[in-house]
Amino acid sequence: MILDTLGPILEMAAFGLLSGITVFFAIFVVSAKDVVRAGLSLVMCMFGVAALYILLNAQFLGVVQVLVYIGAIGVLILFAIMLTKREIGGGSRAN
């Protein structure tokens, strides 16, 4: 009986926490100076979206999000970033 009243509250709390984490990583993708950190933050943002889909009872969309976007596009972006000949540390040094 108490679980019936506590269930929607916990679900809303989980949704708020996941959406906050997703928005945080989305803002970090845009504001990050380092390209590798921006790519990893994009993957984490995609994980947050997949978790939100699963929480909203859209399991198929959550699985597609993980397989297609995180598994294929996220890894492709990270490999493209790592294979560039640019230095991994962000900005240039002033001498």
Look up the domain containing 60 and give its range: 33-85
In a domain, 77, yes or no: yes
Cβ proximity of 22 and 41 under 8 Å: no
Inside any domain, residue 53 = yes
- d(CA 43, CA 70) in angstroms, rounded, equals 6
Q: In this structure, is residue 62 part of a structural domain?
A: yes
* Entry pTM: 0.77
Q: What is the pLDDT of residue 91?
A: 60
Provide the domain count of the chain: 1
What tens-digit pLDDT sequence spans the chain (95 residues)?
Answer: 676 788 888 989 999 999 999 999 999 999 998 888 888 898 899 999 999 999 999 999 999 988 888 888 878 887 887 788 666 565 655 55
Position 94 scores a pLDDT of 57
Residue 1 in any domain: the answer is: no
The answer to whether residue 44 is domain-embedded is: yes
Whats the size of the chain, residue-wise?
A: 95
Number of DSSP helices (H) and strands (E) in the chain, helices first: 4, 0
Output the pLDDT for position 85: 66
Residue 4 inside a domain? The answer is no
- Tell whether 70 is covered by a domain: yes
What phi and psi, each to the nearest 5 degrees, are found at residue 33? -85, -35
Position 95 scores a pLDDT of: 54
Q: Identify whether 90 is part of a domain.
A: no
